[in-house]
Amino acid sequence: MSVYAKKSLGQNFLNNAHYQEKIIKAILSVNEKPLILEIGPGRGAITQHLVPASEKFWAVEKDKELGAALAEKYSAVDHVKICIDDFLKVDLGKLFETRSPGQKIIAVGNLPYNVGSQILIKLLPLNDLFSHLFLMFQKEVAERCVAKAGTRDFGVLSAWVQLYSKASLLFKLPPNAFSPAPKVDSAFVSFELAPRYQAEQNRVIIELIKKAFQTRRKMLGTSLKAWRKLDPAWDQEFEGLWKKRPEELSLEQLASLALGYGGGKSK
Ligand code: SAM
């Protein structure tokens, strides 16, 4: 196995036993014998604890060399399947073929910082497959995940997270918990998947929030001008909000604004 970590794959290995233990404890507090998907197992720092604790274990690792070494290590362990692929491209239906219908999986990952949010957005709507996600992010991304509407950190990522899950920032980790040490602090976040609205409604709400937060210092009436023209009844109904900035509204207010819109026939 190469001794060098690949920067392009965001390889910062969690060698610190104290933090490994905290992660495992958090996951097993949800289910003592879980089905686990690990994203980016790397050299197996977390894998080594999760494999013996799980009923079934899948891992997806993009690094061919590290993936092959793990596949070799666990080749004789029946309940383990290591897949060498890019998680963003993997067909999850095919990967979980051996799952019994209705069984839910816990996804775990000390994610590469550059694709962490993309991986989270892929996972959040999949509440038919996953019950919980336990993921590591750069601290600022973790803080945005749990930021409440009406605060400076709240944005499109926060809306995604809070429309699809109940998220908690569990603990923060300093750079020296990892090897090589990244330049930034990290934080470990749990997500209990529980969509607030139906899939199509969530899609419309996110569309509106994206539009409104593209220019977050502008009044809603200005950033949503095109939508107001398309739906004069909506324009009138929500007149009281047009002088507000998006960051002054709660998520519920943003959602009801989006769900009231009919002009683009997107609902
Ligand atoms: N889990 C290990 C640990 O905690 O020590 C490694 C964590 S390291 C931060 C991220 C891991 O994700 C690396 O092993 C890297 O090769 C892998 N990786 C990067 N991009 C990936 C992708 N798109 N799909 C799957 N794995 C990926």
Q: What are phi and psi of 134, to 5 degrees?
A: -125, 105
Check if 14 has its Cβ closer than 6 Å to any atom of ligand 1.
yes
On whether both 20 and 113 belong to a single domain, the answer is: yes
On whether both 72 and 13 belong to a single domain, the answer is: yes
Total tally of structural domains belonging to the chain: 2
Residue that is last in its domain, among 174, 193, 212: 193
Check if 12 has its Cβ closer than 6 Å to any atom of ligand 1.
yes
Residue that is last in its domain, among 193, 208, 242: 193
On whether both 132 and 216 belong to a single domain, the answer is: no
On whether both 82 and 214 belong to a single domain, the answer is: no
- pTM of this prediction? 0.95
**DSSP string covering 204-236, please?**
HHHHHHHHHHHTTTS-HHHHTHHHHHH-HHHHH
On whether both 211 and 185 belong to a single domain, the answer is: no
On whether both 162 and 227 belong to a single domain, the answer is: no
Q: Is residue 46 in some structural domain?
A: yes
User: What is the domain range of residue 254?
Assistant: 199-263
Check if 119 has its Cβ closer than 6 Å to any atom of ligand 1.
no
Confidence of residue 219 (pLDDT cuts 50, 70, 90): very high
What local confidence, expressed as pLDDT, does residue 99 receive? 87
On whether both 149 and 226 belong to a single domain, the answer is: no
Identify which of 88, 110, 123 to mutate to test ligand 1's pocket (most ligand atoms within 8 A of the CB).
110
Q: Is residue 1 in some structural domain?
A: no
Whether the pLDDT of residue 1 is over 70: the answer is no
On whether both 35 and 149 belong to a single domain, the answer is: yes
Give 177 Cα–ligand 1 centroid separation in angstroms. 16
Tell me the per-residue pLDDT of 91-149, one tens digit each, with 9 for 90 and over: 999 999 888 888 999 999 999 998 999 999 999 999 999 999 999 999 999 999 999 99
Residue that is last in its domain, among 164, 193, 222: 193
Check if 39 has its Cβ closer than 6 Å to any atom of ligand 1.
yes
Q: Is residue 164 in some structural domain?
A: yes
What local confidence, expressed as pLDDT, does residue 264 receive? 67
Whether the pLDDT of residue 267 is over 50: the answer is no
Among the listed residues 150, 128, 263, the one whose alpha carbon sits nearest the alpha carbon of residue 207: 263
> Whose Cα sits closest to atom 20 in ligand 1?
9
Tell me the per-residue pLDDT of 52-100, one tens digit each, with 9 for 90 and over: 999 999 999 999 999 999 999 999 999 999 999 999 999 999 999 888 8
Copy the structure tokens of residue 216: 């977050």
Q: Is 104 helix (H, G, I), strand (E, B) or coil?
A: coil
Q: Is residue 20 in some structural domain?
A: yes
Q: Is residue 2 in some structural domain?
A: no
What local confidence, expressed as pLDDT, does residue 23 receive? 98
Tell me the per-residue pLDDT of 155-187, one tens digit each, with 9 for 90 and over: 999 999 999 999 999 999 999 999 999 999 999
Domain with 96 in it: what CATH number? 3.40.50.150
Give 129 Cα–ligand 1 centroid separation in angstroms. 21
On whether both 43 and 154 belong to a single domain, the answer is: yes
